[in-house]
Amino acid sequence: MAENIEKFLNRVGEAAEQSTLVKVTLSKPASKHDDLRNIYVKPVLIKEKLLFAFTYHYERRDEVKNYDAAQMLETLREMLPERFFNAVLFTVSEDITLLVSSKGKATIQTKKVQESREQNLDHDKQKNRLLNPANPWWYQLGLTTREGKITADMQHKFKQIYKYAEIVESLVKPMKFDDTVHIADMGAGKGYLTFALHELLTQRLNLDVDIKGVEIRPDLVLKINEIIQSDHLKGLEFVESSIEAYRPEKLDVLIALHACNTATDDRASRRVPT
């Protein structure tokens, strides 16, 4: 067993040295109770230095750590097979798979690949995201650091927000709007989803919008409007009102997600004229 694991790690080391390593994945946790579900490793270039970014995918959060080549190999050695039974090395020309059985038998499989591959040393793919954590409102809303990194305790929340954005994009993208899209987000609360909606529609889909976050708590309305004004967000405003009392002049889209206390019932019984 140890021989094949070392053979696999040697292949990883060679690929790193020869600049042919595309990525490494670790999966199939040795313990079903392990909160760490898998690990992705890719080369990144940071300040002209080649490092290897480990993305640790936990049940409710992600963590990223950067290591040099020696640290990368040592970390993989600690994980195999103590934490993970399966590992795959993807190079520019082949896939090398390490499989460790529950009885401890390790095997290696190698497969040549037909498609053309190359290393991608970019460590930030924000331009491809529906939502960009580096935008200042996410820090002001308490989800990220000043540097635009999602905080550990908000990883799960941001995943939920991102999933919401994916669903909304799939619904809105096929639609055609000739003018400003008027939207009301009922019971908007702290504004996470309202800001996500505004960012998605304006920055991703290039729509002209008029979004109203309807919230009954005056302190939240004041706080969120201050963020909106400081970030110069056009077409976004929070209004202080109950769901029942809100009377928009024009409405194209109504957002009515689950909320606390009586807000869900208010939404279900509310009839907004369009």
Torsion of CA 241, 246, 247, 249, to 10 degrees: 60
Torsion of CA 12, 15, 20, 21, to 10 degrees: 20
Distance CA 19, CA 13 (A): 10
The CATH number covering residue 162 comes to 3.40.50.150
| Per-residue model confidence as pLDDT tens digits over 170-197 | 999 888 888 999 999 999 999 999 999 9
Q: How many domains does the chain have?
A: 2
Predicted pLDDT of residue 60: 76
Predicted pLDDT of residue 197: 97
Q: Which structural domain range is residue 30 located in?
A: 2-123
Mean pLDDT, rounded, for 241-264: 80
Give me the sign of the Cα torsion angle 22, 28, 29, 33: positive
**Residue 72 sits in the same domain as residue 185:** no
Q: Which long-range contacts (CB under 8 A, 24 or more apart) does 37-40 make?
A: 38/84, 39/79, 39/84
Give domain status of residue 16, yes or no.
yes
Q: What SS3 class is residue 217?
A: coil
Please, are residues 212 and 239 in contact by the beta-carbon 8 Å criterion? yes
Predicted pLDDT of residue 258: 58
Predicted pLDDT of residue 224: 97
**Residue 84 sits in the same domain as residue 203:** no
Give domain status of residue 37, yes or no.
yes
Give domain status of residue 106, yes or no.
yes
Q: Given 99, 123, 147, which residue is the final one in a domain?
A: 123
| Per-residue model confidence as pLDDT tens digits over 110-140 | 999 877 788 878 765 544 678 989 899 999 9
User: What average pLDDT does the structure give for the chain?
Assistant: 89
Predicted pLDDT of residue 58: 86
Give domain status of residue 201, yes or no.
yes
Q: Given 123, 144, 169, which residue is the final one in a domain?
A: 123
Identify the residue with better confidence: 12 or 118. 12
Distance CA 90, CA 79 (A): 18
| Per-residue model confidence as pLDDT tens digits over 61-92 | 888 899 999 999 999 999 999 999 999 999 99
- The answer, yes or no, to whether residue 104 has pLDDT greater than 90, is no
| Per-residue model confidence as pLDDT tens digits over 254-267 | 998 855 554 445 54
**Tokens for 233?**
């967000």
Could you tell me what percent of the chain has a pLDDT over 70? Answer: 91
Distance CA 24, CA 97 (A): 10
H-type alpha helices, the chain: 2-17, 69-79, 136-140, 155-172, 192-199, 218-230, 263-269
**Residue 158 sits in the same domain as residue 81:** no
- The answer, yes or no, to whether residue 11 has pLDDT greater than 90, is yes
**Tokens for 21?**
């390593």
Contacts of 259 (CB under 8 A, 6+ apart): 186, 187, 189, 267
